[in-house]
Structures are given as structure tokens and as C-alpha cells.
Amino acid sequence: MSAEQMGEISKRLSVTFAVVSIVFVAVLAISPVKDYFSEWRRFQRDYVRYAQSRPDTKRLLTSFHPGIDQIWIPKMKVVDRCTTCHIGISEPGLKDSTVPQPFRSHPPIPHSPADWGCVICHRGQGLATEVPEAHQTTLAWEQPALPIRYIQASCGTCHLADLPQTPRLNKGR
């Protein structure tokens, strides 16, 4: 090969390397930007704004921890990230029907949502951090969140005896 051909090859390699480097940096930049604009982060920002508009701001924000919240129940093979968006689920001061979802607290139940999560009773995809993936049937998940009228049926997953709090389940049995 002549020196001229070697110089041409070297120039092409330099240009190719520069283009590939720019593409690589752009791809690396997309991930944190995409994460910053994720749906769960928007819910958490909205929760902070909502909490700041209330008289009990300090209490609500003291118990709030930004980031993905995950409950793991190894015995039942359940991972639950629902409380990442449903932030006020255990806050007694957020039970009023004027509190917007997903910030409203859960009605009284015998189990703590902080210990059991949501998917044990409500089904849905516990690993999801976006509303459609968490609540609806997708190609990767066939169990959508249960409509409220069927929630008592979930109690029968763990509780084999009749329960006074579940008349529909008892009647179905």
C-alpha cells in the first residue's frame, strides 16, 4: 500500500471513530434523561407539590422518601413497587375523598400496605413503574389490576377459612 492510501484509510478510521464516539455519548445521555422524565418521578414531584399545599406538610414530607419504593415478599414470590406512585397509601391524614389519586390513603384493612404491598390483593404487575404496565394487561403480563368488586376474592389466596370481613368471598365459597 502506498503512503497516500494509508493516509486515506487513517482519515476514514478517524472520522468513523469520531462519529461512533458521538453516538456513544448520545446514547449514554439518553438513559438519565429518560429516567428523569419517567412517570413515577412525575407522580413524586406532584406529591411533593400537593403535600406543600396542605397544613400537615411537614409530617407528609418527613415520611416521604424519593426514589423507587419496593416491597419484597420472598415467601409469596412478590415484588411490589406500587407505593412508588401511591405514596400516601399509609398516611391517615390523606383518607379524605378530596385527596387526589394516587396520593389517597388506603381504607382500613387488617394488613399494613407497608408490609404486604398492593399486588397481593389488587394484582397487577408489581415490578412496573408506569400506569399502563402496572394496571392493565400487557404482552408481558396477563394479570391486570382487579376491579374493586373482586378484591375480596384475593383474600382467599391466603385465608382458607371464612372471614367476617369478606361476605362476598364467603358466599362464593
pLDDT beyond 90 at 102? yes
Q: Highest-confidence range of 21-30, 42-51, 130-139, 161-170, by mean pLDDT?
A: 42-51
Which single residue is written with the C-alpha cell 382467599?
A: 156
Which residues face 72 on adjacent strands?
79
> Residue 20 has what pLDDT?
93
**Each residue's pLDDT tens digit, 33-91:** 788 889 999 999 999 999 999 999 899 999 899 999 999 999 888 999 999 999 999 89
Sequence-distant (6+) residues with CB within 8 A of 84 are: 40, 43, 44, 67, 68, 69, 70, 129
pLDDT beyond 80 at 7? no
The answer to pTM > 0.85 is: no
* Full DSSP string of 9-73: HHHHHHHHHHHHHHHHHHHHHHHHHHHHT-HHHHHHHHHHHHHHTSTTHHHHHHS---S---EEE
**Each residue's pLDDT tens digit, 103-121:** 999 988 888 888 888 999 9
Q: Which three cell numbers stand for residue 137?
A: 394487561
